[in-house]
A and B are shown apart, each in its own frame.
Chain A
Amino acid sequence: MNNRIIVGISGGVDSSVTALLLQKKGFDVECVFMKNWEGNDDEYCTAEEDYKDALAVCDHLGLPLRSVNFSQEYWDKVFQHFIDEYKKGRTPNPDVLCNREVKFKAFLDYALELGAEKIATGHYSIIDELNGDFKLLKGLDPGKDQSYFLYLLGQNALSKSIFPIGDIEKKEVRKLAEESGLVNHAKKDSTGVCFIGEQKFFKEFLKKYIPSNPGMIETIDGKECGKHDGLMYYTIGQRKGLGIGGGYGKLEAPWFVAEKDLYRNVLIVAQGHTHPALYHKQLFADQIHWIRGLVPEDLSGLSAKIRYRQSDQKCKITELSQDRCTVVFDKPQFAITPGQSVVFYRDNECLGGAVIDRRK
């Protein structure tokens, strides 16, 4: 048993404060910067700037920094799947897979090989241990809770990880960074998919990997009302960028993507945020994962999120097998999106989740 913790540092304020807090507690802290994306897509990738920030922080704190390249692992285990899902007209969540395959697998293995006792990351979540049983809890800051992205972790990963800022609020994290003179204390939070960057590049990026197939846009009643550039560029519930004015149709209200008809290559839209075609009470999901390994004995008082930052929605699991489940919500849900994850909670505990396949 040693005292060594290896921190996955990104150059952002959260992972920097993670390193800072562990150092203050007297751990033998080493930092590792992961490079998970390679290519000539430098215009999208901020890795070099991020590395410089990580180096400045480590230099300031007097901590060793190494960099490691997991771009092969990321490509094989995360990106291929991301592309395959888009080809199927679904909207995948690469961050969830990145956590399971890269940060809490490739990086964890690397850190253990380097003789670390545990790894630490700047995730806003809490790991709660009782007699060797590890629970994943929501982060203290309700606006920042990241348990949604961590639902694919298992007992092994949780037993070897710590999230030192999980019980701190974001503004406090920034304050700690500023007090300690960390250069990135005011750095903007990253948004969007890490290898694409800002949302505005998204279309251009996807075009490089998937041929686009333009087609028609129809209303839910089957009337043609415009053209789309390729179904993969649209997400269920999307409002902007449809090229249909709010004035089209009977109402002044904006249009939303309700469905993708892959067979006919048609994008189906509905008018008004309250249109019933945008709401479903039931979903079918597969690839179930339970954080504590087994199906929870008690599934009462369950709630779920069907997207990051959604508030908990009361629901019941009505059918459950090894890999699949049916979820019925108390209230109809807006834009249930195939490819995204449904993540289950009881109060503050994240129990696990599954990938949405269909809705009804």
Chain B
Amino acid sequence: MPYFDHSATTPIHPEVLNIITDVSKNIYGNPSSVYASGRKAKAIIEEARKNIAIAIDASPSDIIFTGGGSEANNIVLWDLIHREKKHVVTSAIEHPAILTVLKKLEPMGITYTVLPVNPQGRIDPEQLNKSIQSDTGLISIMMANNEVGTIQPINELIEIAQNHEIPFHSDTVQTLGKIPLSVREFSADYMSFSAHKFYGPKGVGFLYKKEGSPLNPLIIGGGQERKLRAGTENVPGIAGMGKAVLLASQNQSQHMKHLEALETSFIALLNRECPIAIINGSPTHHLPGVISVSFPGNKSDILLAKLDRIGMEVSSGSACGSGSVKPSPVLEAMGIPESQNISTLRFSFGRDNTQEDVTALVMALNQFTNE
């Protein structure tokens, strides 16, 4: 399947689809209702909560279901308006669901410091240390970047946060199933997840919140999710997400090996067939199967359109920015010159991709960059 944009979204896993269909058909109750159909629905979402908790070594009460990753990020950031300490430290390569929200919060008295990254997209922990102020109330740094796949020195960053007793949030949307995630080893206060990034349904996600870490609801109403996120639960979506997490954690090492193998052969072939290609990001601290490549002299929108014409789907910059030739702010923050920036494509492989797909992709890139 010539779909190489799994960081944007993933096709739903057939077993996940079965569960969603089954629950949609048969479980109509409202989980808040006390009679049988309500109890059934409640049992379904609690089963999902348990499976998700087990997958990241958390406790079920740490899991708050949301309408996706952006909502999870918003809940954490909007909580700052209730806090005394209103300064946030974040990074220059965060998703718009962090940076745009902080901008929106500015008139409400929230201030923030944006940490720079090195040319590989990594933050220097010493910079974080220096940026902390007496009124810093939150540090929000993504675990792995969606555009270049760079993984942050997250444990060092969390340690700094803990030394200063500042809550730490991480946008971990890109990570589930691609790097081992255990809250025992990785002690963030909050983490945001989105089901459609790991072969689950769209429009559903969850927020991990460590027990005792402060949080107020953003959406208020019927008091669902232990009063942290009101609204009748998306029962089929949550059931599907529970299954998707289960599958992702069961298949994790195999999936990672598959992605690494595709990545290795992609890079080897690319070096041979497309010597102009420049690979961005960190070769060592890196999500498997997410590769940002610049093709100097070839504008990304043209390459994208030519690949689309033969049914090959990739991304330029982040998916939200498509249709625009603007340089990617993430690559800009890494100090990549504009001419290289606007010639960059992101390839992100997934479970259905094969070695043949990768070969066909490189052959197409070779052809289109030589036209």
Q: What residues make up the interface of A, taking CB atoms closer than 8 Å to B?
A: 30, 35, 64, 66-69, 72, 110, 113-115
Q: Which residues of B contact A114 (CB under 8 A)?
A: 302, 305-306
CA distance in complex: A72, B326 (Å):
9
What string of 1s and 0s marks CB contacts (under 8 Å) between B264-284 and chain A?
A: 000000000000000000000
Pick the contact of A68: B306, B309, B323 (CB < 8 A).
B323
CB atoms of A69 and B324 under 8 A apart: yes
Cross-chain contact B325 with A69 (CB below 8 angstroms): yes
User: Which residues from B are CB-within-8-Å of A35?
Assistant: 323-324
Rounded to whole Å, the gap between the CB of B295 and the closest CB of chain A is 14
Please name all residues of chain B whose beta carbon is closer than 8 Å to the beta carbon of A110 when the two chains form the complex: 301-302
Q: Looking across the interface, which residue of chain A has its beta carbon closest to that of B321?
A: A69
Do the beta carbons of B326 and A66 come within 8 Å of each other? Answer: no
B371, A115: Cβ atoms closer than 8 Å? yes
Asked if B286 CB lies within 8 Å of chain A CBs, one says no
**Nearest Cβ in chain A — how far from B43, in angstroms?**
41
Residues of A within 8 A of B301 (CB): 66, 68, 110
For this complex, 23 residue pairs linking A to B, each with C-beta atoms less than 8 Å apart, are A35-B323, A35-B324, A64-B308, A64-B309, A66-B301, A66-B305, A66-B308, A67-B323, A68-B323, A68-B325, A69-B323, A69-B324, A69-B325, A72-B325, A110-B301, A110-B302, A113-B299, A113-B302, A114-B302, A114-B305, A114-B306, A115-B306, A115-B371
Having A35-B324, A68-B301, A69-B326, one finds 8 other A-B pairs with CB under 8 Å, namely A64-B308, A66-B305, A67-B323, A69-B323, A72-B325, A113-B302, A114-B306, A115-B371
Residues of B within 8 A of A64 (CB): 308-309
Q: How far is the CB of B141 from chain A (nearest CB, A)?
A: 29
Residue in chain B with minimal CB distance to A113: B302
Residues of A contacting B324 with CB < 8 Å? Answer: 35, 69
* Residues on the A chain within 8 Å of B302, using CB: 110, 113-114
Size of chain B's interface in residues, with CB distance under 8 A? 12
Q: Which residues from chain B contact A113 at a C-beta distance below 8 Å? A: 299, 302
Question: Looking across the interface, which residue of chain B has its beta carbon closest to that of A71?
Answer: B324
Q: How far does the alpha carbon of A66 sit from the alpha carbon of B371 in the complex, in Å?
A: 20
> Considering the chains assembled together, what is the distance between the CA atoms of A72 and B324 in angstroms?
10
Which B residue sits closest to A38, measured CB to CB? B324
The complex places the Cα of A35 from the Cα of B326 at a distance, in Å, of: 13
Counting from the closest, the 8 A-B pairs by CB-CB distance are: A67-B323, A69-B324, A113-B302, A66-B305, A114-B305, A69-B325, A69-B323, A114-B302
**In the complex, A34→B157 CA distance in Å?**
43
Q: Which residues of A contact B306 (CB under 8 A)?
A: 114-115
CB-CB nearest in chain A for B302: A113
**Smallest Cβ distance from A280 to chain B, in angstroms?**
45
> What's the Cα separation between A64 and B311 when bound, in Å?
11
Identify which of residues 316-371 in chain B touch chain A, using a CB-to-CB cut-off of 8 Å.
323-326, 371
- With the chains together, A143 CA to B369 CA distance in Å? 46
Q: Can you name the residue of chain B whose Cβ is closest to the Cβ of A32?
A: B305
Interface string of B291-310 (1 = CB under 8 A from A): 00000000101100110110
B86-107 interface code vs A (CB 8 A; 1 in, 0 out): 0000000000000000000000
Residue of A nearest to B371 (CB): A115
A residues near B308, Cβ cutoff 8 Å:
64, 66
- What A residues does B299 contact at CB under 8 A? 113
Give the distance to chain B from A167, nearest Cβ to Cβ, in Å: 31
- Complex-state Cα separation, A67 to B308, whole angstroms: 13
Kindly provide the distance from the CB of A66 to the nearest chain B CB, expressed in whole angstroms.
Answer: 5
Q: For residue B326, which residues in chain A have a CB less than 8 angstroms away from its CB?
A: 69
Q: Which residues of B lie under 8 Å from residue A67 when comparing CB positions?
A: 323
CA distance A311 to B309 in the complex (A): 45
Chain B contacts of A30 at CB under 8 A?
309
A332 to B153, CA, bound (A): 78
Please, how many angstroms separate the alpha-carbon atoms of A115 and B299 in the complex?
14
Distance, CA A66 to CA B301, complexed state (A):
10
